[in-house]
Structure 1
Amino acid sequence: MKRPFTQVDVFTATPYLGNPLAVVLDGDELSTEEMQRFAAWTNLSETTFLLPPTTPQADYRVRIFTPETELPFAGHPTLGSCHAWLEAGGKPRTDGVVVQECGAGLVTLRLTDDGPAFHAPPLVRSGPVEEELLERIAASLGIARGDVVDAEWADNGPGWVGVLLRDAESVLALRPGRVPVDVGVAGPYPEGSPYAFEVRAFFPHRGSTVEDPVTGSLNAALGQWLLRTGRARAPYVASQGTVVGRAGRVRVFADDQGDVWVGGSVVTCVSGHVEL
Structure 2
Amino acid sequence: MNRRFAQVDVFSVVPVAGNPVAVVIDADGIDDDAMAAFARWTNLSETTFLLPPTTEAADYRLRIFTPGGELPFAGHPTLGSAHAWLEAGNEPKGERIVQECGVGLVEVRRDGARLAFAAPPLTRSGPVDRDTVREVAAALGVDMSEVVAAQWVVNGPEWMALMLGSGRRVLEVEPDMAALGTHNVGLVGPYDGGLPGEPEVRYEVRAFVPGVGVPEDPVTGSLNAGIAVWLRGAGLAPESYVAAQGTALGRSGRVHIIDDGTDIWVGGAAGTVIAGTVVL
Among 214, 220, 224, the alignment partner of 1:215 is 220
8 Å contact from structure 2 (residues 71, 157) kept in 1: no
State the 1:133 CA deviation.
1.5
The aligned counterpart of 1:179 is: 180
- Do the aligned partners of residues 138 and 213 (structure 1) sit closer, same or farther apart at CA in structure 2, a change above 3 Å counting? same
After alignment, is 71-80 or 177-186 more displaced?
Answer: 177-186
Aligned partner of residue 155 in structure 1, secondary structure: coil
Paired residue secondary structure (1:83) = helix
Classify 1:90/1:197 alpha carbon distance in 2 versus 1 (closer, same or farther; 3 Å): same
State the alpha-carbon separation in 2 of the partners of residues 213 and 173 from structure 1: 16
SS in 1 for 2:23: strand
Displacement of 1:209 in angstroms is 8.0
Q: Which moved more, 1:54-63 or 1:263-272?
A: 54-63
Whether 1:270 and 2:274 are equivalent positions in the alignment is yes
- Where do 1:1-276 residues align within 5 Å? 1-95=1-95, 97-177=96-176, 178-179=179-180, 181-193=183-195, 194=198, 195-205=201-211, 210-257=215-262, 259-276=263-280
Is the contact made by 2:74 and 2:157 (CA closer than 8 Å) also made in structure 1? no
Q: Which structure 2 residue ranges, 5 or more long, are not aligned?
A: none
Structure 1: state its 5+ residue gaps. Answer: none
Q: Which amino acid aligns with 1:117?
A: A
Q: Which amino acid aligns with 1:129?
A: V
Q: Using the alignment, how far apart are the partners of 2:135 and 2:27 within structure 1?
A: 43
Q: Is the 8 A contact 1:76 1:215 kept in 2?
A: yes
Segment of structure 1 superposing worse, 5-14 or 105-114: 105-114
Give the drift of 1:192.
4.4
Give 4+ residue runs of structure 1 displaced > 4 Å after superposition.
none
Superposition deviation, residue 104 in structure 1:
2.1
Larger displacement relative to structure 2 (74-83 or 107-116): 107-116
Give the whole-Å Cα distance in 1 for the aligned partners of 2:161 and 2:123: 14
Check conservation: 2:11, 2:219, Cα contact below 8 A: yes
Q: State whether residues 11 and 264 of structure 1, in contact with CA within 8 Å, keep that contact through their aligned partners in structure 2.
A: yes
Counterparts of 1:249 and 1:240, CA distance in 2: 6
Q: Is the 8 A contact 1:179 1:209 kept in 2?
A: no
Deviation of 1:45 (Å): 1.4
Distance in 2 of aligned mates of 1:202 and 1:36: 21
Q: Quick one: which amino acid aligns to residue 228 of structure 2?
A: G
Residue identity matched to 1:182: N
SS for the counterpart of 2:133 is helix
Residue 7 (structure 1) shift:
0.4
Distance 2:194 2:141 in 1: 29
TM-score (norm 2): 0.93
Q: Deviations over 1:131-164 (max 9, x none)?
A: 1221222222112111111221222222211111
RMSD: 1.6
d(CA) in 1 for partners of 2:87, 2:27: 16
C-alpha contact 1:171 1:185 (8 A) present in aligned 2? yes
Shift of 1:246: 0.9
In structure 1, what residue type is equivalent to 2:167?
Answer: A
- Asked if structure 2 preserves the Cα contact closer than 8 Å seen for 1:183 and 1:201, the reply is yes
Identity among equivalent positions (%) equals 54
CA distance in 2, matches of 1:13, 1:262: 15
Q: Please say if residues 239 and 260 of structure 2, whose CA atoms lie closer than 8 Å, have aligned partners that are also in contact.
A: no
1:268 CA drift (Å): 0.6
Q: Which amino acid aligns with 1:107?
A: V
SS of the residue 1:127 aligns to: coil
